[in-house]
Amino acid sequence: MNVSKLIGWTTGLFLGISTCVAVPNVFSDETKPDEQWSLSQQDQDLISVTNGDILGERSKDGVWEYHLYTTDGYIEMVNGELVWVFGYTHAKGSFKDVGEVKTKEDVEKLLEPVKVPSDPVHLFVGEKARITLHNTGMHCAAENSGINHVAHTIHFHGLDLTPAVDGVPSLPVDPVQENKSFTYEITPQYEGSFMGHCHVDSFNHILAGMYFPIIIHQDRSKTAYGYKYDRDYTLFFSELSSTANEQLQETGVVHGLQDWKADYYLINGRTFTDNLYHPLSVINDPRSRIVAYEDETVLLRFMAIGADHVFAIHPHGYHMEVVALDGRKLKSSYEKDTLCIASGERIDVLVKIPHFASQRKCLSCNLGAGITIMHDHNLRGMVSQGKYPMGALTIFDVRSKEKATKPDAPLTKEKPYNPLEH
């Protein structure tokens, strides 16, 4: 089964399984029943456990294979600014090997546009993985910029690996030079939330965009650290400086690195904006808008990376049960409504959605029934490019099981959010 084929209707399948409610025709525009029924149980379990994220290919010897490519490009922010970034990406619709990628045309033809953070890599405990990093060079930097031709690695942050496959340059493996590749072979020992990032000139390369979530599953069930959950979201908090990135693009050197300052505070590469309909806002990203149904348990995997900002994650209306820190289950969980997360940390929490939550209005944000915000309470993280509230904020969007709706439908001007429908 071609993995990319699975993605389009994953949401529908996912909803059907997890709500245990027949929802005929709700997804009629995107489901393909014939193909759905041809899925093996194994495929269905895999889709369910990765929440629709693309998986690598599984080779004949049972090894997971991922091909990651480094390149540069632009990401668009809610204010219309195009910020030059570089990072990891992969083949269009898969993690397959696409062969030689040398030119800008090759990149555009063969690879997904670069994203910050790049797409999650899902692995399984005890199952070997070969992760090949291909350095395709920079394609949008100034001709004489020192950022051209730099090497990269993948450091598997939080995995207890031997240095040879852990991406610290020259300890003992040389970093991956332009037009070269290197294969990291790893077999995860522990489930949990981790991250990958480049370890060459780490300050510049990481902050320019070279990071992504790594999620390691114990098995094919929707459990983490022994806890069952109904839905899960990975929320990657990070800092970005468009000014520093521009200097890297133009010259390869950031002037006054000591004074590096973020001008964007991101969740999964986006900021919130007070235009609730903006398609590039955090809250209209299906990966970041926390959609759930009453009585469900939601697993949130928080991750953070940056120069010095500590995010203080604060949901309105819910306490969070902290179940794991840095990819390890806590001996006893504890509850928080304001949770600090610094660069490199991962914190996993469960949120139990009460039975009345779809009817509950958040008096502090007044966005509608079932909608409550979750934001950075270190308020600098709520300001991007000098504007508030443009920063790390997303929403819980809690619905009633009796009136199921498409969970990832963005707010649009044509069909504004109507709390009476939920």
- Going 86 to 91 to 96 to 97, the CA torsion angle's sign is negative
Q: Which stretch binds Cu ion (CB under 5 A): 5-13, 37-45, 75-83, 148-156?
A: 148-156
> What is the smallest separation between the CB atom of 236 and Cu ion, expressed in angstroms?
18
Question: What gap in Å lies between CA 16 and CA 18, rounded to an integer?
Answer: 6
Closest to Cu ion by CB, 198 vs 369, is 198
The SS3 of residue 217 is strand
Q: Which of 67, 122, 152, 422 binds Cu ion (CB under 5 A)?
A: 152
> What is the smallest separation between the CB atom of 66 and Cu ion, expressed in angstroms?
17
DSSP 176: B
Cα Rg for the chain, rounded, in angstroms? 21
> What is the smallest separation between the CB atom of 334 and Cu ion, expressed in angstroms?
37
Site for Cu ion in 198-237 (CB under 5 A): 198, 200, 205
**The pair of three-digit structure tokens given for residue 354, joined into one six-digit string:** 């009460």
Closest to Cu ion by CB, 16 vs 167, is 167
User: Element (H or E) spanning 248, and its range?
Assistant: helix 242-250
Is the N-terminal amide bond of 117 cis, ω within 30° of 0?
yes
Tell me whether strands 64-76 and 57-58 are parallel, antiparallel or unpaired: antiparallel
59-82: buried (b, 16+ CB within 10 Å) or exposed (e) per residue? eeeeebbbbbbbbbbebebbeeee
> What is the smallest separation between the CB atom of 329 and Cu ion, expressed in angstroms?
32
Query: Residue 314: CB partners within 8 Å, gap ≥ 6?
Result: 337, 338, 339, 374, 375, 376, 377
Q: Which stretch binds Cu ion (CB under 5 A): 152-160, 277-285, 352-360, 411-419?
A: 152-160
> What is the smallest separation between the CB atom of 200 and Cu ion, expressed in angstroms?
4
Q: How many residues bind to Cu ion according to rule CB under 5 A?
A: 4
Residue 366: phi and psi, rounded to 5, are 50, 45
> What is the smallest separation between the CB atom of 169 and Cu ion, expressed in angstroms?
9
> What is the smallest separation between the CB atom of 252 and Cu ion, expressed in angstroms?
13
DSSP 111: B
Is the N-terminal amide bond of 389 cis, ω within 30° of 0?
yes
> What is the smallest separation between the CB atom of 175 and Cu ion, expressed in angstroms?
7
Q: By CB under 5 A, is residue 176 in contact with Cu ion?
A: no
Question: What gap in Å lies between CA 279 and CA 368, rounded to an integer?
Answer: 19
Closest to Cu ion by CB, 66 vs 311, is 66
Work out the angle between the directed axes of helices 10-19 and 41-50 (0-180°, nearest 10): 90
Closest to Cu ion by CB, 198 vs 322, is 198
> What is the smallest separation between the CB atom of 157 and Cu ion, expressed in angstroms?
14
User: What is the residue type of 117?
Assistant: P
Closest to Cu ion by CB, 198 vs 224, is 198
Distance, C-alpha 289 to centroid of its chain: 12
Closest to Cu ion by CB, 156 vs 302, is 156
Closest to Cu ion by CB, 122 vs 205, is 205
Q: Which stretch binds Cu ion (CB under 5 A): 27-35, 114-122, 196-204, 311-319?
A: 196-204
Torsion of CA 337, 341, 345, 348, to 10 degrees: 20
Closest to Cu ion by CB, 154 vs 411, is 154
Question: What gap in Å lies between CA 200 and CA 170, rounded to an integer?
Answer: 10
Closest to Cu ion by CB, 70 vs 281, is 70
> What is the smallest separation between the CB atom of 152 and Cu ion, expressed in angstroms?
3
Bridge partners (DSSP) listed for residue 215: 122, 193
Closest to Cu ion by CB, 203 vs 388, is 203
DSSP 205: H
Q: Which stretch binds Cu ion (CB under 5 A): 1-9, 135-143, 191-199, 321-329?
A: 191-199
Helices (H), 268-410: none
Give contact residues for Cu ion (rule: CB under 5 A). Answer: 152, 198, 200, 205
